[in-house]
Amino acid sequence: MKKCKFCQSKIDEKATRCPKCQGDLRNWISRHPILTILLVLLGVPTIIGWAVADNVTKDLPQPTSVPQQELNGKVDFDGVQFHVTNLDDSAWKSCRMTLNGKYRYPQEKGLLGADTEVLDDFEPGKTYTMGYAVFVLKDGTRFDNDTTIVSELSIACDNSFGAWTW
């Protein structure tokens, strides 16, 4: 004999319900078979997925930080055009320029600039000339030298950066 956990009456060992209070004496899994099946179907793959994902990410190479080098160059602005000279011994590769901290050349495209094109190599010792109107905001607004003063030009290339101010 055992006691009912609800009314404390003495009942048969194999009873699943108390004859006096009708309390359900089965365990949670037996009382909720559909929920049990759903938890197993959702829980087991989730736990396996976490275990597999953890092992997969352990095998991936960890990102390394490449130190950025400062560009050695010269920038002149004659009021209409920028003249950019690479004074380094090697080419500046895959570059993007920023004028006054927000106007870009080439124009920024895509989500977070992911589709933005880059400028080809700036060969050492060569001077490149571009007009101020090539610098644009993401919405397409061009830099206007008549209403805005040129104050800073920065160039970001693969693993190198340079900034010049006026």
Q: 55 and 19 in one domain?
A: yes
13 with 77, same domain: the answer is no
Q: Tell me, what's the pLDDT at 118?
A: 81
Structural domain containing residue 24: 2-59
Contact 155, 162 (CB under 8 A): yes
pLDDT-derived band at 144 (thresholds 50, 70, 90) equals very high
- Do 23 and 81 share a domain, yes or no? no
Give the span between the Cα atoms of 110 and 116, in whole angstroms: 7
Residues 108, 54 share a domain = no
pLDDT in tens, 110-142: 665 556 678 878 899 999 999 999 999 988 899
pLDDT at 57: 58
- Indicate the average pLDDT of the chain: 84
Both 112 and 35 in one domain: the answer is no
Asked if residue 124 and residue 47 are part of one domain, the reply reads no
Same domain? 55 vs 73: no
Q: How far apart are CA 91 and CA 128, in angstroms?
A: 13
Q: Residue 19 in contact with residue 36, Cβ under 8 Å?
A: no
Written as six digits, the tokens of 16 are 């699943």
pTM over 0.75: no
Do residue 109 and residue 137 come from a single domain? yes
